[in-house]
């Protein structure tokens, strides 16, 4: 006697496929058009305080009248409307909330730049929101003060000061280098190099990651003595915090006598 059993074989999705699936679920279940209209409506009600006849706040009104229980959801919808409208003014079509949240970390004037670089570095005509988020985050960090090499002189220059035609290549290079470095140079430290630098900043310590043609180095101000502690010059930006830690960390942690 032969018994035949049908077995369903499940296949693991790639991270990109999972992200795309979630975008499609959001479109099917919620409806992006409905979300956009809801965001615009909530924004107008907030701006004109049209809730004030029955409630003291937009949050209380939305919770009782619209069934939106979370304050964060209210402002996600409003942000979606804001980003979508700003993007349209710059020739960028925002098709869903995830894309809006990804672009929302940069200035509207940079939306087109981020989209162009995302398509160029991924090779995708319709990149995922995760792809866009990675490039948008890189652009945001560079705008906040990162120095890059001038395309003609090779000297350090603020990313913001680059001529517009050179910003896309600089951003693309940073994205590609960052992706490679995260895989190759982050290593197995007890604290990742850039997390260590961020920790110093959160402690209220001043400093800077610097570079020239010869390499990278980290400078940190000792808040106790006022001395600028300069780390060794190394070839990789990821090794600069490591080299500084090896040379100076014990000095920074010493208790004043």
What pLDDT, in 10s, does the model give residues 127-142? 998 899 889 988 988 8
Task: Provide the number of structural domains found in the chain.
Answer: 3
- State whether the Cα torsion 99-100-102-103 is positive or negative: positive
- Single residue among 184, 214, 234 that ends a domain in this structure: 184
Do the domain assignments include residue 5? no
Residue 107: what pLDDT?
Answer: 94
Same domain flag for 32 and 96: yes
Same domain flag for 98 and 110: no
Do the domain assignments include residue 3? no
Secondary structure of residue 147 in the 3-state scheme = strand
Same domain flag for 82 and 125: no
From residue 177, how far is each of 32, 37, 146, 181 by CA, in Å? 34, 39, 14, 6
- What does the pLDDT look like over 89-131, one tens digit per residue? 999 999 888 899 999 999 999 999 999 999 999 999 989 988 9
Render the burial of 147-182: b for 16+ CB within 10 Å, e for the rest. bbbeeeeeeebebeebeeeebbebbbebbeebeeee
Domain enclosing residue 163, as ranges: 105-184
Same domain flag for 238 and 214: yes
> How many CA atoms within 13 Å lie on the side-chain side of 114?
33
Same domain flag for 129 and 97: no
Do the domain assignments include residue 1? no
Same domain flag for 69 and 110: no
Same domain flag for 92 and 42: yes
Same domain flag for 156 and 209: no
Q: What is the pTM of this model?
A: 0.58
Do the domain assignments include residue 116? yes
- Single residue among 127, 153, 184 that ends a domain in this structure: 184
Q: CA-to-CA distance for 224 and 221, rounded, in angstroms?
A: 9
pLDDT band for 4, please (50, 70, 90 cuts). low
Residue 160: what pLDDT?
Answer: 82
- Single residue among 78, 104, 130 that ends a domain in this structure: 104
Containing 221, the helix (H) or strand (E) segment is: strand 215-221
Do the domain assignments include residue 17? no
Do the domain assignments include residue 38? yes
CATH number of the domain enclosing 235: 3.30.160
- What does the pLDDT look like over 185-206, one tens digit per residue? 444 555 677 778 878 877 778 8
Same domain flag for 95 and 33: yes
- What does the pLDDT look like over 219-250, one tens digit per residue? 988 877 888 889 999 888 878 888 898 888 77
Same domain flag for 93 and 31: yes
Residue 76: what pLDDT?
Answer: 92
- Under 8 Å between Cβ of 234 and 243: yes
Q: What mean pLDDT comes out for the span 56-71? A: 90
Same domain flag for 89 and 38: yes
Residue 10: what pLDDT?
Answer: 62
Same domain flag for 64 and 112: no
């Amino acid at each position: 006697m032969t018994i035949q059993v049908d077995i369903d074989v499940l296949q693991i999705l790639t991270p990109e496929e999972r992200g795309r699936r979630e975008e499609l679920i959001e479109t099917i279940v919620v409806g992006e058009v409905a979300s956009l209209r809801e965001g615009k409506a909530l924004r107008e009600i907030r701006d004109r305080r049209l809730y004030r006849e029955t409630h003291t706040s937009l949050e209380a009104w939305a919770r009782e009248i619209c069934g939106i229980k979370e304050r964060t959801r209210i402002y996600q919808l409003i942000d979606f409307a804001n980003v979508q409208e700003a993007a349209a003014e710059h020739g960028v079509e925002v098709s869903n909330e995830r894309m809006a949240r990804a672009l929302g970390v940069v200035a509207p004037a940079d939306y087109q730049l981020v989209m162009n670089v995302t398509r160029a570095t991924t090779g995708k005509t319709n990149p995922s929101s995760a792809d866009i988020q990675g490039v948008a985050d890189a652009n945001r960090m560079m705008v906040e003060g990162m120095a890059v090499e001038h395309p003609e002189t090779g000297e350090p220059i603020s990313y913001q000061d680059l001529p517009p035609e050179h910003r896309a290549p600089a951003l693309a290079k940073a994205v590609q280098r960052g992706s490679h470095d995260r895989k190759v140079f982050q290593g197995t430290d007890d604290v990742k190099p850039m997390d260590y630098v961020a920790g110093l900043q959160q402690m209220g310590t001043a400093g800077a990651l610097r570079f020239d043609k010869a390499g990278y180095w980290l400078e940190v101000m000792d808040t106790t003595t006022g001395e600028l502690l300069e780390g060794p010059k190394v070839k990789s930006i990821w090794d600069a915090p490591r080299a500084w830690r090896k040379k100076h960390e014990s000095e920074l942690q010493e208790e004043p006598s």
